[in-house]
Structure 1
Amino acid sequence: MNGKILIVEDEEKLAALLHDYLQQNGYDAHRLGSGLEVVAWVREHAPALILLDLMLPGRDGIEICKDIRTFSSVPIIMVTARIEEIDRLLGLELGADDYICKPFSPREVVARVKSVLRRAGSEQTIQAHGLVLDEPRYRATLTGNDLDLTAVEFKLLQFLVASPGRIYSRQQLMDQIYHDQRTVSDRTIDSHIKKLRKKIASVDPEAELIHSVYGVGYKFEVL
C-alpha cells in the first residue's frame, strides 16, 4: 500500500466510488461520513492524507481542518460543491493543501492525491500524532513547539516513529544511530530515551509516546 487515505464524505455513493478508485491505485482507503468522528480518528490512525468534504453532518470541514492543524501537518485536500472564492481561500488559509470542486472525476481526485503526497514527500518530513520530524534540518516539533533535540536524539526518535508499535531492543537502537561501530553501553540508550521523554513532556505533559517494554526495549506508540 502507498499510504493510508481518509475519505470524509457523507454522500455514500461518492465515498464508495472514491474508496474503490484509491484502493485500485494502491492506497489504503478509509471512509467516515460524520464530521464528529474525524479528529479522533486522525489522532489515532495518523493517515498520510485526508480528503475532507466541506459540508458534513455534525461539524463542517473548515472547523475540522482548523482543529487538525493544531496537532498535525497531514496533507488535507478540501472537497466542496460550494464554488464561491471565499470558501476556497478560507479552506486554504486554514491549512488545507489543495481543494477540488464537485462534480469531479475519481481519476482527477487520484491525480490530486498523488500530486499532494509527492509534494509532501519531497519535504522529507514525518508526521505522526502531532509530531513533525524535518530530516534535512534535524528539527522535531510537537503540536508546533520545537523539541530542541540533539542529532542523536532526533535519529532515535525518527527511527522509533517510522514503525509505530514495533518494539526495538537497545542493541537494535544502538546499531541504528551509531554507524561508526563505537562501543556504547545499554545505559547510553536509556539516557537518550530519558532525555527524549523529558523534552516531549516539557511541551505536552500528557503525551506518553515512547514506552518501555520490560526485558525487551522500547517502542513508539500512542495508547
Structure 2
Amino acid sequence: MKVLIVDDEEKITNVLVSYFEKNGDTTYVAHTGESAIQIADKVPLDMIILDLMLPDMAGEDICQYVKLNYEIPVIMLTAKISIDDKLKGFEIGADDYVVKPFHPKEILVRAERLLPNSHKKQIIQFGQLKIHKNERRILLNQESIQLTQHEFSILLLLVENPKKVFSRDDIIKKVFGFHTDINPRVVDQHIKNIRKKIKNEYIQTVFGLGYKMDEKVVENEI
C-alpha cells in the first residue's frame, strides 16, 4: 500500500517508514500539515498515519480536508488521552486512534485492517509468504524474495488455489499458454527453484498427480 506518515518528529517517521517498507509498502513522509496536504493531492494514497500536533496546523484540520476530498483511511496519532479528544477525532472522520507511545508494529497491523477490500485482494498471505500481485513481489518473513517471471506465476497460481492439485500440464497451460511446446520437466525445475528460494516446503508434491500448496505447513506455523 501507499502510506503517508505525518509527524513532526523524525524519530517517529523513521521508525514507521522502516516497518512499513519491510512489509513491502511504499511510504511518503511529511513533517508539516501543508506538505501532507500537498502529497495527498498528488499521490493516490491507501493510508494516512497522522499526528495531531503539527507545527503549522492541527491534525484535525488535515483529517477533515482528507475526508472531504478523498476516501483514504486515517489513523490518528496523539498524546491526548481523554475520551473527549478520542470522540472528537472519530467525529471528524478518523478511522482509528492511537495514543503515544505506541509500538510501530501495532500501527502496521491497524493499517492493514483498515485497507479497502479491493486492495486486500491484491495481497495474498500464505503462512510467512506475502504475495503482492500488482507489484509481482514476494516477501518471506518480511524479506524480499527474487523470483523469475515464470516462478512468480507458478507460485501465485498455487497460492490462489491452495486446495487444488495442479498437474504439470495444468501449470504449463495456465502459465505458459495453450499454444506452447514445453517439456513438462521444465515445471519440475521451476518448482525446485521456488522451493530453494523460499527455503520452506510450502509446495507439496502429490504423487502421480502434481503440485499443491501444503496447508499443513501453515498450520504448524500458527
**Equivalent of 1:56, from 54, 57, 66?**
54
Q: Give the AA of the match of 1:77.
A: I
1:121 correspondence with 2:117: yes
Q: Give the AA of the match of 1:80.
A: T
For 1:5, what is the secondary structure of its paired residue?
strand
Where does structure 1 lack aligned partners over 5 or more consecutive residues? Answer: 125-223
Partner deviation per Cα, 1:42-81 (whole Å, 9 max, x = no partner): 0110210000001111011101111111211111001111
Q: How far does residue 123 in structure 1 lie from its aligned partner after superposition? A: 9.5
Q: Give the AA of the match of 1:99.
A: Y
Q: Report % sequence identity.
A: 38
For the aligned residue pairs, the C-alpha RMSD in angstroms reads: 1.6
Query: What is the total number of aligned residue pairs between the two structures?
Result: 120
Q: How far does residue 122 in structure 1 lie from its aligned partner after superposition? A: 6.0
For 1:87, what is the secondary structure of its paired residue?
helix
Q: Give the AA of the match of 1:121.
A: N
Return the TM-score normalized by structure 2.
0.52
Q: Name the structure 1 match of 2:87.
A: 89
Where does structure 2 lack aligned partners over 5 or more consecutive residues? Answer: 121-222
Give the distance between the partners of 1:38 and 1:107, measured in 2 at CA.
22
Q: Name the structure 1 match of 2:98.
A: 100
Q: Name the structure 2 match of 1:78.
A: 76
Give the distance between the partners of 1:122 and 1:38, measured in 2 at CA.
25
Return the TM-score normalized by structure 1.
0.52
Give the distance between the partners of 2:87 and 2:99, measured in 1 at CA.
13
Q: Give the AA of the match of 2:32.
A: S
1:177-216 equivalences under 5 Å are none
For 1:36, what is the secondary structure of its paired residue?
helix
Q: Give the AA of the match of 1:41.
A: I
